[in-house]
Amino acid sequence: MKVYLIRHGQTDLNLQGKYYGSLDPLLNEEGIKEIEKVRDEINKINFDRVYSSSSRRCLQSLKICGEDLYKRAEIHRELSEINFGIFEGKTYKEISKLYPEDTRKWEDDWMNFCPPGGESFIDFYKRVTYIWKEIIGCQAQNILIMAHSGTIKSIFSHVMDDNPGLFWNFMVSNASINIIGYDYGNLYIEGINKEVLE
Distance CA 85, CA 115 (A): 6
Contacts of 173 (CB under 8 A, 6+ apart): 7, 193
Return the pLDDT at 197.
87
Return the pLDDT at 42.
95
How far, in Å, are 44, 101, 166 from residue 132 at the CA level?
24, 34, 17
Domains in the chain, CATH or no CATH each = 2-16+26-81+119-194 (3.40.50.1240)
Q: How confident is the model at residue 74 (pLDDT cuts 50, 70, 90)?
A: very high
Return the pLDDT at 143.
98
DSSP 61-129: HHHHH-HHHHHHPEEEGGGSPP--GGGTTB-HHHHHHH-HHHHHHHHH-TTT---TTS--HHHHHHHHH
Residue 198 has pLDDT above 80, yes or no: no
Return the pLDDT at 139.
80
Query: 107-160, pLDDT tens digit by residue?
Result: 999 999 999 999 999 999 999 999 999 999 988 999 999 999 999 999 999 999
Average pLDDT of the segment spanning 69-73: 97
Q: How confident is the model at residue 185 (pLDDT cuts 50, 70, 90)?
A: confident
Return the pLDDT at 146.
98
Helix (H) or strand (E) holding 30: helix 29-42
